Amino acid sequence: MKLLNFTKSGTGFRMSLFSAALAGLAMMSGAVDAQTLRAVKHSDLRVLDPILTTAYMSRNHGYMIFDTLYALDSDLVPQPQMVDSHEVSEDGLTYTFTLRDGLKFHDGADVTGEDVAASIKRWGERDGMGQVLMSFVESMSQGDSPNQFVINLKEPYGLVIDSLAKPSSNVPFIMPKRLAETPSTEPIPEQIGSGPFKWVADEYQPGVIAVYEKFEDYVPRDEPASWASGGKVVKVDRVEWVVMADDQTALNALQAGEIDYWESPPSDLLPILDANPDVTVKNLNALGFQTIMRPNTLNAPMDDPKIRKAAIAAVNQKDVLDALVGNPDLYKICGAMFVCDTPLASDVGSETLTQGNGMDQAKALLEEAGYDGTPIVVMHPTDVSTLRSQPVVVAQAMRDAGFTVDLQAMDWQTLVGKRASQASIADGGWHMFMTNWVGADVFNPLVNNMVNGKGPDGGWFGWPDVPKLEELRTAYATAATLEEQKGLAEEIQALAYEEGIYAPIGQYFVPTAWSNNLEGVLDAPAPLFWNISKN
Amino acid sequence: MVVYIVQRILAAIPVMAFVALFVFLLLRLTPGDPAAIIAGDTATPAQLEAIRDSLGLNDPLLVQFFSWIGDLLRGDFGTSILSGKPVLNLIADRMEPTISLALTTIILSVLIAVPLGVIAAWKQGTLIDRFVMLLSVLGFSVPVFVIGYLMISLFSMQLGWFPVQGFKPIGDGVGPFLHRIALPTVTLTLLYIALIARITRTSMLEILGDDYVRTARAKGLPERKVLMRHALRNCSVPIITVIGIGFALIISGVVVTESVFNLPGLGRLTVDAVLSRDYPVIQAVILLASLIYVVINLLIDIAYVLLDPRIRYT
């Protein structure tokens, strides 16, 4: 608590008394427990079931209280987490997993193979990669002993472990059987997991605070923490996720030491944090985020691949990223659908996006397609800071190419409701929207929803019906080697660009900021709070 | 008087019923789907419909409406679609910060603004009067968030006297409570000082020219008594009205102040619920806000009778 530095004078004496009184008031509030880590997250936690929703806050909540069978390390290689060992039968059809000793749920019950089977089944009903896995599964059950879990396959599938190590929404978290048997369209009734933190239900206030305490009975692995894998050693007693609606308030709170960690400061405030010697600013997620444009293939004229390709060709990623991020150090021009700097990265088909030289091509494609000036409805969410720039830039690029664009402003929740509709434009439908994905959600053809070619039944919003894409994705799932996977991924990307079903319009990074009294903050696909100590 | 109060209470029932129907229909007509928000990106249409079914969103509107009204009459405000928590608990958690801010703001505003307004009227045309009017214009013109940021910058970041943000319930100690409510109170008080001082001055100016005030002065009463006992009391009706409405406005949510100072009040609850289409929460907070206005208006009318013997209700 600073005191005014006045020379001896009546005014100075009164001010010092005043300051002392304030200090007294402050001390009466109780010193902040040194073992409580206070973090401001990118949003508030609303849905507590990380299988019911793909919301990143729910995923992050899942990482706190649940654990996974496997997890990816910083080289994107699956590592055992809850699993001690596994065996695969010679014919490749039976996987037997043995869980580590001492795994307990927060209610004291042991983790068993039955819990695992129920959890994976529930996850497989909702998650895309999980659904692919389930299509190969004959049965799942507890093994010969309670700490064993067995998957029997219909045919060999090379991505069983990769599926169980999926790092982002939806993550195959393991929960008690009684919770996992909740229908996957309803939220689980309790927050009981076997993860390194326990949920403190009594202190949860939606929109205000979410509280976690160290789970004393958690048995971490011996290996050092690496990305989402390794030892999850909790070094604080308590973590509080505090909601702050205003970025300036969060900035002030971090600088004043009232919070310890700020997940995603906006880029315009980063220079202030960078200049503060008591704060560290660092990008923790090497894969960053991918921002995309997604046309609706059901509504004319976007049902014509030439029109879709024209829209994509008109866009220059640099323009989008300059508007969205501004600082070139925080973005990357990247046309790879499966994210740059990953094993599957490729620039095939993306030249106009990355070079910004596609305007003539766009105009030519429009003419070739006989575009008649039908307004293209582009949805524009104005209330989300990371989504309100892209539609404006893309709409203008499209207008420059000769499109007539109807840029419709709305809030994000209206967009979420509207994009789920397959209605025609006359009935309130849409032609295009933009959104962002964390890199770990798009880095292979099985997790990347946008290269799903299942059409209106089973596809992702936009619903491209491209059977060849599904063939290639199935081939990818059964590919035996990384080289084969790379080749197939490139084919998928080339076809996706050829069909114009979506385009990555930039890769960007959002650094995290934290007080220098924290040590051990991990590079990871999601904000993780184990390994962090507070001085 | 009792009859009047009972009549006003009974008259509030159709008002509340209309508000309930209006907010229910308005929400259902607004674009956005809470089921889509819960379901996330990868839900199939079948899964989305299953979620809508489980939330009762596919029931006919009339069924949904009467089901909600029936629950309301039993004191059940439903559960939040997103968090699953009882709506009553969500609102109750937000009441203390909101009421605390409202009370401290109004009390401080009245204590400062009424004397300022009286002095300004008494010294009309002088430097004091001009100063009070300048303060009033500034209070109206400068946005609350600007004042808030300036307060934080000076008193929290530079001087370190107050915390930047947050709220402590009074159960955690009066000192910590006051320490955290101080800056948001002062921020909001400036606006209400502007409002109340101005209305006090205007009302006083109307009264100070009246015959009975001249008579009181002519009889040799001290000026303080003339102002406070005779003049102020007679112009208290519009002042009470403004104070009451101001209190109701703060209670129903001052989301900007709550956001700047990170106060978990009703304003933010309402905004969050609207943005996430949490129908039960939105319906409940709007009904609550309507009820607050009805009650405050009734209290204002009762206060009129107490302050002005010429006012009688039949």
Q: Give bridge partners of residue A152 from the DSSP assignment.
A: A94, A139
**A205 touching B (Cβ < 8 Å):** yes
Residue among B44, B48, B175 minimizing CB distance to A28: B175
**A252 touching B (Cβ < 8 Å):** yes
The strand order across the sheet containing A94-99 reads A83-88, A94-99, A148-153, A137-142
Helix (H, G, I), strand (E, B) or coil at B263: coil
What's the count of helices (H) and strands (E) in chain A, helices before strands? Answer: 16, 23
Both tokens assigned to A437: 């994905």
Largest CA distance in chain B: 86
The low-confidence residues of chain A, meaning pLDDT below 50, are: 1-11, 13-14, 26-31
CB A115 within 8 A of CB A176: yes
B262 to A244: CB separation less than 8 angstroms, yes or no: yes
DSSP H or E segment with residue A300? none
Please give the pLDDT value at position A19. 53
Chain A: residue nearest B85 by CA?
A206
Chain B hits for A245, CB-CB cut-off 8 Å, are 258-259, 262, 268, 271
A206 to B173: CB separation less than 8 angstroms, yes or no: no
Both tokens assigned to A7: 């020379």
Residues composing chain A: 535
Chain A closest-CA separation from residue B157 CA (Å): 7
CA distance linking residue B67 with residue B88, whole number of Å: 17
**A248 touching B (Cβ < 8 Å):** yes
The Cα-based distances of A151 to A66, A81, A95, A164, B182 in angstroms read: 21, 17, 5, 12, 61
The model's pTM is 0.89
Chain A: residue nearest B266 by CA?
A207
Please give the pLDDT value at position A28. 44
User: Position of tokens 């929290």?
Assistant: B156
User: Position of tokens 């379901």?
Assistant: B39
Q: Determine the distance from the C-alpha atom of residue B135 to the mean position of all C-alpha atoms in its chain, rounded to a whole number.
A: 22
Residue among B44, B84, B149 minimizing CB distance to A187: B84
Chain B: residue nearest A449 by CA?
B42
What is the share, in percent, of chain A residues with pLDDT greater than 90? 87
Chain A closest-CA separation from residue B267 CA (Å): 11
Chain A hits for B180, CB-CB cut-off 8 Å, are 29
A256 to B157: CB separation less than 8 angstroms, yes or no: yes
DSSP state of A518: E
A128 to B42: CB separation less than 8 angstroms, yes or no: yes
Both tokens assigned to A390: 């892209």
CB A499 within 8 A of CB A305: yes
For residue A100, what are the contacts with CB-CB under 8 A and spacing of at least 6?
Answer: A82, A83, A84, A219, A221
**A24 touching B (Cβ < 8 Å):** yes
Residues composing chain B: 314
Chain A closest-CA separation from residue B142 CA (Å): 18
> Among A53, A178, A65, A242, which residue's Cα sits nearest to residue B82?
A53
Strand pairing category for A94-99 and A83-88: antiparallel
CB A71 within 8 A of CB A165: yes
Please give the pLDDT value at position A20. 53
**A21 touching B (Cβ < 8 Å):** no
CA distance linking residue A475 with residue A459, whole number of Å: 18
Please give the pLDDT value at position A29. 45
Sign of CA pseudo-dihedral B269, B274, B276, B279: positive
Strand pairing category for A279-282 and A261-262: unpaired
**A126 touching B (Cβ < 8 Å):** yes
CA distance linking residue A127 with residue A133, whole number of Å: 10
Chain A closest-CA separation from residue B127 CA (Å): 26
Cα end-to-end distance, chain B, whole Å: 7
Kindly provide the b/e burial profile for residues A148-182, where b requires at least 16 CB atoms within 10 angstroms of the residue's own CB: bbbbebeeebbbbbbbbbbbbbbbbbbbbbebbeb
Chain A hits for B56, CB-CB cut-off 8 Å, are none
User: Position of tokens 């059964």?
Assistant: A478
Strand pairing category for A503-508 and A512-515: unpaired
> Among A173, A180, A213, A289, which residue's Cα sits nearest to residue A33?
A213
A30 to B176: CB separation less than 8 angstroms, yes or no: yes
> Among A496, A371, A510, which residue's Cα sits nearest to residue A436?
A510
Please give the pLDDT value at position B40. 72
Both tokens assigned to A308: 């879709």
User: Position of tokens 């059901």?
Assistant: A298
B45 to A207: CB separation less than 8 angstroms, yes or no: no
Count other Cβ atoms within 10 Å, centred on residue A280.
18
Chain A hits for B86, CB-CB cut-off 8 Å, are none
Both tokens assigned to A172: 């195959």
Both tokens assigned to A54: 């793909």
Q: Is the ipTM of this complex over 0.85?
A: yes
CA distance linking residue A25 with residue A28, whole number of Å: 5
Count other Cβ atoms within 10 Å, centred on residue A423.
13
**A107 touching B (Cβ < 8 Å):** no
pLDDT per residue as tens, chain B (314 positions): 788 888 888 888 888 889 989 999 998 888 888 887 777 777 777 778 888 888 888 889 889 998 888 988 898 999 998 888 999 999 999 999 999 999 999 999 999 999 999 999 999 999 999 999 998 998 889 999 999 999 999 999 999 999 999 999 999 999 999 999 999 999 999 999 999 999 999 999 988 888 888 888 888 888 888 888 878 888 888 899 999 999 988 888 788 999 999 999 999 999 999 988 899 999 999 999 999 988 898 888 888 888 777 777 65
A2 to B160: CB separation less than 8 angstroms, yes or no: yes
Please give the pLDDT value at position A22. 56
> Among B248, B280, B296, B291, which residue's Cα sits nearest to residue B98?
B248
**A47 touching B (Cβ < 8 Å):** yes
Helix B279-307 vs helix B87-122: crossing angle, to nearest 10? 40
B36 to A187: CB separation less than 8 angstroms, yes or no: no
Q: What percent of the residues of chain A are helix, what percent strand, and what percent coil, each to the nearest 5?
A: 35, 20, 45
Q: Hey, what amino acid is at A400?
A: D
Task: Please identify among residues 165-194 of chain A the ones whose CB lies closer than 8 Å to any CB of chain B.
Answer: 169-170, 183-187
Task: Please identify among residues 297-336 of chain A the ones whose CB lies closer than 8 Å to any CB of chain B.
Answer: none
A53 to B39: CB separation less than 8 angstroms, yes or no: yes
Please give the pLDDT value at position A4. 36
**A242 touching B (Cβ < 8 Å):** yes
Chain B hits for A380, CB-CB cut-off 8 Å, are none
Rg of chain A taking only CA atoms, in angstroms: 25
Kindly provide the b/e burial profile for residues B209-220, where b requires at least 16 CB atoms within 10 angstroms of the residue's own CB: eeeebeebeeee
B82 to A206: CB separation less than 8 angstroms, yes or no: yes
B159 to A2: CB separation less than 8 angstroms, yes or no: yes
CB A327 within 8 A of CB A267: yes
A245 to B262: CB separation less than 8 angstroms, yes or no: yes
Please give the pLDDT value at position B12. 85
